[in-house]
Amino acid sequence: MKNIFILSGPSGAGEDSIIDGLEKILPLERVVTTTSRAMRPGEKNGHPYYFIDKTSFEKKIAAGDFVEYARQYNDHLYGVTKKELDRVAATGKRGIWKIEYQGVATAKRLFPGIIAIFINAPLAILEERIRRRDNLSETYIRERMRYTKDWLTHTHLYDYIIENEQGKLEEAIKNVAAIIDRHYEK
C-alpha cells in the first residue's frame, strides 16, 4: 500500500498521542478500523472506529470485505476493510494505519513494502500509563500487561522501533515524522 504507514504498539505506548502530534505537522489521513465493541462516551461512528455489531462484522468476514481482522484480548473483533484502505489511498495524504501485531503480520504479508513503525516505552512506564486510565481493575491491568509482554516478542515484524519515553513525546513525534517523510512517495 503505497503511502500508507503502520503505527503500532502496546497499550500505553502513546500511538494516539503520536498520531495527534503528526496531524499538526503532516497531511495525514487515518485508516479507520471497524470494531464489534460498543461505542464509549465521546466516541462517534468513524472516530475513532466504525462501530458495528458482532453479527454484521462476521458477515463482512464471510463476504471477504476485510484486509485483516483479529479477535483481541477483550473478545471483540477489530479489522480494516479493503474499502477503507482504498479511501485513504485515494486522498493522496500520508495514511496512518494503527493496528496490533497480528494485523501487522497480515499487512506485511499482503503488502510487502509497507513500512511498520513500532512505538514502545519501558514496561514500567507502560504499566503506569495504563494505571492512569479510568478506574481500571487489577485484573484488567494484569491482562493488558500480559498482552504487552506477548506483543514485545513480535518486534521483528517492524521496520522501525521508536521509544516514546516519559516526557519525550515531541521527540518521538519528530522521529516518526522523519521516517514517514523518508518513505513517502510524492
In degrees rounded to 5, what are phi and psi of residue 122? -55, 145
Average pLDDT value for residue range 58-76 = 90
Radius of gyration in angstroms for the set of CA atoms belonging to the chain, rounded to a whole number: 16
109-112 long-range contacts (CB < 8 A, ≥24 apart) are 110/67, 110/68, 111/1, 111/4
DSSP codes, 30-58: EEPEEESSPPPTT-BTTBSEEE--HHHHH
Residue 124: burial class (beta carbons within 10 Å; 0-12, 13-18, 19+): exposed
**Mean pLDDT score of the chain, rounded to an integer?**
91
Distance of CA 140 to the CA centre of its chain: 20
Better pLDDT: 109 or 145 = 109
The per-residue pLDDT for 100 is 87
Say yes or no to pLDDT of 113 above 90: yes
- Tell me which of 3.40.50.1860, 3.40.50.1970, 3.40.50.300, 3.30.200.20 is the CATH number of domain 4-183: 3.40.50.300
pLDDT-derived band at 143 (thresholds 50, 70, 90) equals: confident
Q: Where do the structural domains in the chain lie, given as residue ranges?
A: 4-183
The per-residue pLDDT for 124 is 87
- Decide: 4 and 107 in contact? Cβ < 8 Å: no
* First-last CA distance in the chain: 14
Residue 153: burial class (beta carbons within 10 Å; 0-12, 13-18, 19+): exposed
